[in-house]
Amino acid sequence: MAFWRSKKNREDDALGQTSAVPSEVSEKQPASQPANRSAESREESKLPPDESIASASSPGSEAKPSSGGLFSKMRRVLSKTRQTCRTDIRDLFKSEGTLVDDDFLEELFSRLVRTDMGVASAEAIRDDVATRLRARVVSLEEVLGTITEQTQTMLAQESAGIQYTDSGPTVILVVGVNGSGKTTSIGKLANFLHQSGRKVVLGAGDTFRAAAVEQLTVWAGRIGCEIVTGKPEADPASVAYQTVEKALSIGADIAIIDTAGRLQTQVNLMQQLEKIRRVVEKKIDTAPHEVLLVLDATAGQNAISQAQGFSDAAGCTGIVLAKLDGSAKGGVILPIREKFQLPVKFVGLGEGVDDIAAFDAAAFAKALFTQ
């Protein structure tokens, strides 16, 4: 898709003061594939499943988020949300068609709210249906077509892809609450960028858990990209610094830095993110070029409260909505788009290496409501 290759200057982001350069960082070449890992240790370290990783390099796999593949994949992962929607809305229709009156509109509204799209979005869709179809006898397909169009309008956004720098490595910081899907999303994104010919360096900035470093190391090994790891409990900012340094020294196109999960209410940890930003900026004054907030789609409306604190505190530039495949709450993307100025850049469609797609409003709206 075109935007993967577009190079736009990022918007200026106010960062704090610079700080001392941290130490205690080691650099590693990509790790070789760990052999015969037990299911138990895989669970503990949240390693990606073997079969999905194996498909990463298999020719013909859907490694690239192309529009055609994207739509069918999106349709598949949104099936839970779509089933809820369609079944609920279909119940409002008689075989010969149904009159769009106040009762119908109120029923439609309450059924839309069940997709976790939130009251404001459901109201907007209901009002659009009222404007266009009131007092007419309509079919299910006609109403769904109207809803799809309105949803697409509401999801429309200007920028979708990564904002690449004009020169030097593009630095991407990945943040979010615990378990939202950060490390997995990094692995999938890194794989896609690597496959599209970009040189990628990963930074294992979650130094709290040894398993977190191992998880990212496995991804790097399988993808075949470089990774920078710190000693256990090293300062995450030092890992971030060394990751950017490594990216500069080897002429990498992209550096993606993982961070530990945190809540925006954890002041120390949020300050740590600030420090990471400052040290990264010390190396490249326009970095980080992207701060991606990973949200868990299965959290539904809770994902929004997660986003609210983070988007300001961490200076986020975009959202990755992970775990859409497991969610019947795909509608949550509507209030996310409505409440935040942040574009949704990627959606996570599963745990496999190919299960990430660039967000496409039209495909998403269609996959939510059409058959």
Ligand X SMILES: Nc1nc2c(ncn2[C@@H]2O[C@H](COP(=O)(O)OP(=O)(O)OP(=O)(O)O)[C@@H](O)[C@H]2O)c(=O)[nH]1
Q: Give residues in contact with ligand X (CB under 6 A).
A: 46, 176, 178-184, 206, 212, 261, 294, 322-323, 325-326, 348-351, 355
Q: Angle 182-183-185 (CA atoms, 0-180°, nearest 5)?
A: 65
Q: Which does 354 bind (CB under 5 to 8 A by kind): Mg ion, ligand X, none?
A: none
Among 73, 182, 246, 282, binds Mg ion (CB under 5 A): 182
Is there binding between residue 184 and Mg ion (CB under 5 A)? no
Q: Which does 259 bind (CB under 5 to 8 A by kind): Mg ion, ligand X, none?
A: none
Output 226 or 325, the one with its CB closest to ligand X. Answer: 325
**Rounded to an integer, what distance in angstroms lies between the CA atom of residue 190 and that of residue 274?**
24
Q: Which does 184 bind (CB under 5 to 8 A by kind): ligand X, Mg ion, none?
A: ligand X
Output 160 or 186, the one with its CB closest to Mg ion. Answer: 186
Output 116 or 206, the one with its CB closest to ligand X. Answer: 206
Helix/strand/coil percent split, the chain, to 5:
50, 15, 35
CB of 178 to Mg ion, least distance (A): 8
Site string for Mg ion, 198-237 (x = CB under 5 A): --------------x-------------------------
The letter for the amino acid at 90 is: R
Q: Which residues contact 227 (CB under 8 A, 6 or more apart)?
A: 28, 30, 31, 201, 202, 203, 204, 216, 217, 220
Cβ count near 142 (within 10 Å)? 18
Is there binding between residue 262 and Mg ion (CB under 5 A)? no
Is there binding between residue 183 and Mg ion (CB under 5 A)? yes
Residue in the structure block whose two tokens are 């809540």: 263
Cβ count near 134 (within 10 Å)? 14
| Contacts to Mg ion by CB under 5 A | 182-183, 212
